[in-house]
């Protein structure tokens, strides 16, 4: 007879097995779709509405859209986001791993919250595209 932890682990493995493998783009972005959306993806100057959570590789959160979605033009964010969100369709959810070269690079950000040359992880849900 299987124990509850084994059943939970088996369910998680089955769910993970259905996810497409991560894709690494020419810029170094690692993109993994968690849920496919539908419709047209945004363009580089479209305004998007998203829920997101940003963490460091160790899992420590540095930013999130807590409580209310964030809205911004894609050409006004880090290159990793401009590229990654354009790979999504409304209703989709994805993970991004952003190397420093397409994140905040040597300058860091947030008054020291994001140190120089930090690799950043994001989980992003694309709610809406405004053209």
Q: Tell me which residues are annotated as active site.
A: 52, 62-63, 78, 104, 122
Using alpha carbons only, give the angle 82, 83, 85 rounded to the nearest 5 degrees. 70
Reduced to 3 states (helix: H, G, I; strand: E, B; else coil), residue 118 is coil
- 98: Cβ contacts below 8 Å, ≥ 6 apart: 29, 78, 80, 81, 84, 119, 120, 121, 122
């Amino acid at each position: 007879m299987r124990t509850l932890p084994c059943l939970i682990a088996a369910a998680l493995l089955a769910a993970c097995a259905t996810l497409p493998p991560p894709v690494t783009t020419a810029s170094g972005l690692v993109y993994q779709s968690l849920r496919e959306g539908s419709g047209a993806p945004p363009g580089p100057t479209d305004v998007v509405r998203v829920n997101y959570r940003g963490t460091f590789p160790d899992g420590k959160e540095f930013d999130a859209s807590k409580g209310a979605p964030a809205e911004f033009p894609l050409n006004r964010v880090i290159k990793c986001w401009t590229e990654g969100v354009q790979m999504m369709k409304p209703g989709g959810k994805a993970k991004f791993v952003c190397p420093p070269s397409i994140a905040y690079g040597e300058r860091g950000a947030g008054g020291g919250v994001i140190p120089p040359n930090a690799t950043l992880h994001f989980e992003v849900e694309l709610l809406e595209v405004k053209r």
